[in-house]
């Protein structure tokens, strides 16, 4: 361990480069020549820790990261690393504590009807603000929750929370459909359909105001079992959409057989619009498919006006994305709806 006084990041970097070089100089032992390589992690006071133990722990984390990046390397500590290096078990218990403490919350991303320009729905997106670990994106914790099974409890919380919000909007006369993301494990759990029905009836929400976003990977499992579940959900009167359409297994048979109402064009295809020819071809094909099968089509990840215009020209029904707004808290979304009512022809929001 090295403790460097009166230095800064470039100073520390220069020093560890020298150390790495010196340590790897060959050592001759009799007729053997040995080389040792090392990996170094750097933590800087007070940014990366205010006391000895924290600094050592974080330098250690950074060192493991350096090793992972191919050894004989150095690495500055980054806050984010904590999450990557935390074992899944620890992350799982942090998630359980977070759920109990109320550290999860939902944000709502507006979904806009391309014809009228009005907000007609909102996708509920999960957020985790952890006091210890900082903001952790769902891309990081959802896969772990899926792996450990915690997604069932977390998904149940999302369902209850989003349905309660949708019911508040319903009571306020705000006509929004709230869409929630459903994980495979959650969808397959035996109590899922009952819990959707219970959430609706407890909150007094009209079923048509709830939409479930299902990925293709959920749908390909056991076709008959899946079909039965989807039919039971459709019977409740809620709507179903296929998320990230085109990125999964895309078996087209299920479109014919399953009671889904909407296809969601994945943002990876929206990205290159309108210039990228393959993206354009794929977006056009999905929209045509949707139109032919009488499904609604929504595009996600729309970031520019050109993308929006292109989708509109292709006949897409709805979109969501940073061009209009990122995911908002419920009050900000309500404010946006209020503005929209005062000025129906207004353009995209400023968020």
Give the residues lining the site for ligand C2E (CB under 6 A).
109, 125-126, 137-139, 142, 155, 158, 181-183, 243-244, 267, 300-303, 321-322, 327
Q: Which does 210 bind (CB under 5 to 8 A by kind): ligand C2E, Ca ion, none?
A: none
At its nearest, how many Å lie between ligand C2E and the CB of residue 351? 11
Closest to ligand C2E by CB, 34 vs 100, is: 100
Residues 324, 183, 280, CA angle at the centre, nearest 5°? 45
Of the residues 244, 254, 290, 321, which one makes contact with Ca ion according to CB under 5 A: 244
Cross-strand bridge partners of residue 211? 179, 239
HEC letters along the chain: CCCCCCCCHHHHHHHHHHHHHHHCCCEEECCEEECCCCCEEECCCCCCCCCHHHHHHHHHHHHHHHHHCCCCCEEECCCCHHHHHCCHHHHHHHHHHHHHHCCEEEEEEEEEECCCCCEEEEEEEEEEEECCCEEECHHHHHHHHHHHCCHHHHHHHHHHHHHHHHHHHHHCCCCCEEEEECCHHHHHCCCHHHHHHHHHHHHCCCHHHEEEEEEHHHHCCCHHHHHHHHHHHHHHCCEEEEEEECCCCCCCHHHHHCCCCEEEECHHHHCCCCCCHHHHHHHHHHHHHHHHCCCEEEECCCCCHHHHHHHHHHCCCEECECCCECCECHHHHHHHHHHHHHCCCCCCCCC
Q: Which one among 92, 211, 213, 279 touches Ca ion, defined by CB under 5 A?
A: 213
Shortest spacing between CB 346 and Ca ion, in angstroms: 26
Q: Choose among ligand C2E, Ca ion, none what residue 109 binds, the Cβ cut-off being 5 to 8 Å by kind.
A: ligand C2E
Q: In the complex with ligand C2E, which residue's Cβ is closer, 74 or 141?
A: 141
Query: Which x/- pattern, by CB under 5 A, does the window 38-67 give for Ca ion?
Result: ------------------------------
Q: Which is nearer to ligand C2E, 126 or 333 (CB)?
A: 126
What minimum distance in Å lies between the beta carbon of 125 and ligand C2E? Answer: 4
Read off the tokens for 330: 């419920």
Choice between 38 and 140, CB closer to ligand C2E: 140
Q: Minimum CB separation from ligand C2E for residue 184, in Å? A: 9
Residue 225 C-beta: closest distance to ligand C2E, Å: 20
Q: To the nearest whole angstrom, how small is the minimum distance from the Cβ of residue 74 to ligand C2E?
A: 30
321 interface partner picked from Ca ion, ligand C2E, none, CB below 5 to 8 A per type: ligand C2E
Work out which of 243, 282, 298, 316 binds Ca ion, going by CB under 5 A: 243
Q: Which does 211 bind (CB under 5 to 8 A by kind): Ca ion, ligand C2E, none?
A: none
Distance CA 65, CA 86 (A): 12
Phi, then psi, of 86 in degrees rounded to 5: -60, 140
- Between 168 and 267, whose beta carbon lies closer to ligand C2E? 267
- Residue 77 or 245: which CB sits closer to ligand C2E? 245
- Closer by beta carbon to Ca ion, 244 or else 318: 244
Supply the minimum distance, in Å, between the C-beta of residue 85 and ligand C2E. Answer: 21
| Residue 181 touches Ca ion, criterion: CB under 5 A | yes
Q: How many CB atoms lie within 10 A of CB 176?
A: 21
What is the contact surface with Ca ion in residues (CB under 5 A)?
181, 213, 243-244, 266
């Amino acid at each position: 361990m090295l403790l460097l006084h009166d230095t800064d990041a470039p100073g520390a970097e220069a020093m560890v480069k020298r150390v790495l070089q010196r340590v790897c100089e060959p050592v001759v032992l009799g007729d053997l020549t040995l080389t040792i390589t090392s990996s170094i992690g750097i933590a800087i006071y007070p940014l990366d820790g205010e006391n000895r133990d924290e600094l050592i722990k974080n330098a250690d984390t950074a060192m493991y990261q350096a090793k992972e990046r191919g050894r004989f390397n150095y690495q500055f500590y980054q806050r984010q690393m904590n999450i990557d290096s935390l074992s899944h078990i620890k992350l799982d218990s942090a998630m359980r504590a977070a759920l109990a403490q109320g550290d999860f919350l939902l944000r709502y991303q507006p979904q806009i009807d391309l014809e009228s320009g009005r907000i007609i729905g909102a996708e509920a997106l999960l957020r985790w603000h952890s006091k210890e670990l900082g903001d952790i994106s769902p891309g990081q914790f959802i896969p772990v929750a899926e792996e450990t099974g915690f997604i069932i409890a977390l998904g149940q919380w999302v369902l209850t929370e989003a349905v309660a919000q949708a019911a508040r909007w319903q009571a306020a006369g705000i006509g929004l459909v709230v869409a929630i993301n459903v994980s495979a494990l959650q969808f397959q759990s035996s109590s899922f359909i009952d819990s959707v029905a219970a959430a609706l009836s407890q909150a007094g929400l009209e079923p048509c105001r709830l939409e479930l976003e299902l990925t293709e990977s959920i749908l390909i499992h056991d076709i008959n079992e899946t079909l039965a579940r989807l039919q039971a959900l459709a019977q409740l009167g809620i709507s179903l959409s296929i998320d990230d359409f085109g990125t999964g297994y895309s078996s087209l048979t299920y479109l014919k057989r399953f009671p889904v109402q909407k296809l969601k064009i994945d943002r990876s295809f929206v990205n290159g619009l309108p210039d990228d020819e393959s993206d354009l071809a794929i977006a056009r094909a999905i929209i045509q498919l949707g139109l032919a099968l009488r499904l609604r089509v929504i595009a996600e990840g729309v970031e520019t006006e050109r993308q929006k215009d292109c989708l509109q020209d292709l006949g897409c029904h709805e979109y969501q994305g940073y061009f209009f707004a990122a995911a908002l808290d419920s009050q900000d979304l309500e404010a946006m709806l209020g503005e929209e009512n005062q000025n129906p022809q207004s353009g995209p929001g400023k968020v």
